[in-house]
Structure formats: C-alpha cells, structure tokens
Amino acid sequence: MAHSKALLVLENFIGGKFVPCSSYIDSYNPSTGDVYCRVPDSGKEEVEAAVKAAKDAFPIWSSKSPLERSQILNKLADLIEHDLEAFAQAESKDQGKTITFARTVDIPRAVHNFRFFASSILHHVTECTEMPAMGCVHYTSRAPVGVAGLISPWNLPLYLLTWKIAPAIACGNTVVAKPSEMTSVTAWMMCQLLEKAGVPPGVVNVVFGTGAKAGEALVCHPEVPLISFTGSTLTAQRITERSAPHCKRLSLELGGKNPAIIFDDADLSQCIPTTVRSSFANQGEICLCTSRIFVQRGIYSEFLKRFVAEAKKWKTGNPSDPTSDVGALISKEHLEKVRTYVKKAQAEGARVLCGEGVDPLALPPGNQKGYFMLPTVIAEVKDESCCMQEEIFGPVTCVVAFDTEEEVIRRANGVKYGLAATVWSSNVGRVHRVAHRLQSGLVWTNCWLVRDLNLPFGGMKASGIGREGAKDSYEFFTEVKTITIKH
C-alpha cells in the first residue's frame, strides 16, 4: 500500500531511547477507515533487547526507596495531566472512542493510576508473629520480582497499560510492555515523558507489535518471571500454555458476559440511564459492559419501551465531535464480527428493537468509511443463544424477562464468564442475598462502574485468574519471604 509522507511512525522505546524497527504494521483511524500510523512489527530480537535493558536497570531501580519511586510516579502523573488534551485527542483518533470519553475517563484514569500507586506503595506493612515459648520471632519481607511482562488491550489503551505499569514499577520491578498494535500511540507519547519524570533508562521499555510475534516472544522469554495480561480468554489460554515451561506468575483479566438484574422494585429513573450507559459506553468495548439484561416480568414491557427510547437518544458519529455518545468500533473485522451476532439473533427469531439493520445511520461525509454501529437492543433471545453466551464486545445488549429471584440467579450464572454484574432493587435484603449468590468478581447494586482502586478487581471462571488493586497488585508484583529469628 502506498503511504503518504504525513503518516505518524512509532518507534520502540528500549533502554531509555527510541529505536527504529526493520518492519512496520499499518494502524487505522477507525472513524475514517484510513491508515494514519505505522507501528513497529517487533519480534524476538526487539523483545530480547528490551528484556536486557530491563534486567540491567533492575538493581538500581529496585534498591530505591518506595518514597523515591513514589515521587517519580507522581511526576509522571503530573506530566501526563499537563498534556491531557493531546493524549485525549490521540486516544480518540487511534481507538475510535469519543473525545468526551477519552477526556473524562481514559486519560484522567491513567493519571490517577500513577498517583494511586505512588500513594499506596508508601502504606503497605508486613507481618510479624512471635513464639515466646520457642524464643522465636517470625516476620515477612517483600521484594520486587524482576522484569515484568505487561500486555494490554485496545479498548482502554493508556488506562489499562498504566494500570499495570504503575504498580509494577512502584514495587521496584522493571517492565517490558506490549500495548495492542491497533492502539499504540498514547503509549509512545507516554515514553516521551519518562526521562523528564525521572524514570531511569531501562525501567520502562515499550515494544510495539502483534500478540503472535512480540507478545509471544515476551511470554516465552525465560527471564520474564511475571506476565500481566488483559484481553481475550482465547489469548490467555495461549499465554498459559506458552508460559507453563517457565513456571511464570500470571495475572489474567479476561472477558465478561455481564448480567444486569432488574427487579420490579427498581428505581427506573436511575436504572434506565445507567443501564444504557453500562451497555453502550465506549461502544460497548469495555470488559465490564452489560450485555444481558434480565427484567422482572411485571415491569418488562415498560422497561423495554423506556430503555429503547433512551438508547435511541445516544448519538453515533464522529468521535472528535463533543456531542457524540458513540464513536467507531476498533476495526473493520471487529465491526463485521459484532454485526454477525445481530444477524444470528435475528435468524434465531429474536427481535432487534433498535440500532443495527433497523434504524438509519447518518454519518458526516468524512466518516462514511468508518467502523460505526448504532446502539442495538435485542429482545426475546434464548439463554442458549450465542448472543447470550459469548462476549460480543460491541454496542449490543439483550433484554429478557424473568419471574423469580431463584430463576434469575441460575440464569445469570449460566455462562462461562464471571466478571461483573449489576443488581437493581430497593430491597436491601434482596440486594445482599443476590450479590452473594452471583458468580461474579464484581457486583454493583443500583449503580455501575463505581470503583475503589484499593479493592480487588478481577473475575471468576473464564473471566480470569488473580485480582488487581492496591493490595492484590502489590502481592502480585512482589515476592514474599518469611524470616525466622531465634534469640
């Protein structure tokens, strides 16, 4: 393909320097369908150089005090915040998400990730027990592990990359990170700020490229004892297999097929706008998005009418337009995949109430070739349908009726995933009862996506292994040792 000279060309960041690569991959602007950036197609050689740089930087970085590392993380947070608008524009263009979402969610959260771990690293305490009869004292100490391999996805690029980099380096590890090849620009921009923030060369290395080449090389590297991955369950199976011979420690945050359970005593004035948001925010491309909505039969028809009316108010259009609610999906292939699910639902006899194939999609002239899709609501879907079992990861949600609490818990749990769930009811006893019985790592009641980063984040079943958060990330990114002293 012929490339104009105006294309942005990214470079790997290894040992504190930008390093050109011998081959590149095209990266598309999802809102126009045009190639606008070239991303290094890194492999074994580049990963090898990055791991060496990380290993060389480890002794000095790991010997710094938590306070010294904390000050550097805070400085990096300040620098990203100073350039927030440039980061937001880049994230929106590269990923297809609306500029409003990038400005209010992605980049502020990336800043907060560094500040949060800069603070939390100062407050951990280790354990100590005494055995007076034996004349012994036991205590634990924690130390950084070494080089951490961090692989982040395309849906919340800088947000989820920094959610891994921040705790890894706060704990004294050095890192080799591989962002998604589809959304690499903000990671590259962050690398430009590392030196100014005081991050020593080699502490943070970023290697761009595909999972099959760069990701594989990182996962298979014998000198990378930790792998933290956010992405699909299928890729996680591959990572588990490839890392098994090396006994690596894995943190895997995977997909979800998240239910919302709406009882007939729910406050619909709160529930409907929030459930529209939980279904369609970021084009439905968030692992925590709601894709199965169970509504108690008594309010089912009223809910459906109001929910569809609210979903139709969401404006799909140019991501750089601040009034757009829904941007473009990540790629042409992904858009096709999401559309296929809607077609399958129709073929099975379900009703598409709004969105794909039902309502006209009007786009500005410059966005006609972009990967857009309207918020789509499907009703009367069978529980065993692929639309109710598989993660679609787009602006599609299914609404079905239920009768009893017992029945809805069974149906909500009837998928292979277990990441998040939402429960809507004004009955406190019921809210607690249902929350305890849902097979879900996170349960929100009468709200969605309210996060306290101190608490564990992660899923059950096929939604992952391990948890992330202040304590969980600290434990993952450190090695614990029990020391016994006889006096």
Block mean pLDDT (10 aa), the chain, length 487: 72 98 97 97 98 98 98 99 98 98 98 98 97 98 98 98 98 98 98 98 98 98 98 96 96 97 98 98 98 98 98 98 98 98 98 97 96 98 98 98 98 98 98 98 98 97 97 98 97
Output DSSP code: residue 246.
G
253 part of the active site: yes
Options 11, 46, 181, 253, the catalytic residue:
253
258-262 vs 420-424, strand pairing mode: parallel
What is the model's pLDDT at position 5? 58
Quick one: pLDDT at residue 6?
A: 82
Beta carbons within 10 angstroms of residue 33's beta carbon = 15
* Amino acid found at 313: K
> Which amino acid would we find at residue 85?
E
Are 256 and 391 within 8 A, CB to CB? yes
DSSP label at residue 214:
I
CA 27 from centroid of its chain's CA atoms? 20
Q: Burial code of 423-460, b = ≥16 C-beta within 10 A, e = fewer?
A: bbbeeeebbeebbeebbbbbbbbbebbeeebeeebbbb
Q: How far apart are CA 318 and CA 98, in angstroms?
A: 8
Beta-carbon neighbour count of residue 292 at 10 Å?
24
Sheet strands (E) in 70-158: 128-131, 136-144, 147-151
DSSP per-residue string spanning 335-350: HHHHHHHHHHHHHTT-
pTM of the predicted protein model: 0.97
Interatomic CA distance for residues 210 and 221, integer angstroms: 16
Q: For residue 32, how many other CB atoms are within 10 A of its CB?
A: 18
Residues 6 or more apart from 22 whose CB is under 8 A from it? none
Residue identified by tokens 């050109």 is: 20
Contacts of 475 (CB under 8 A, 6+ apart): none
- For residues 434 and 440, is the Cβ–Cβ distance under 8 A? no
Query: In this predicted structure, what is the pLDDT of residue 44?
Result: 98
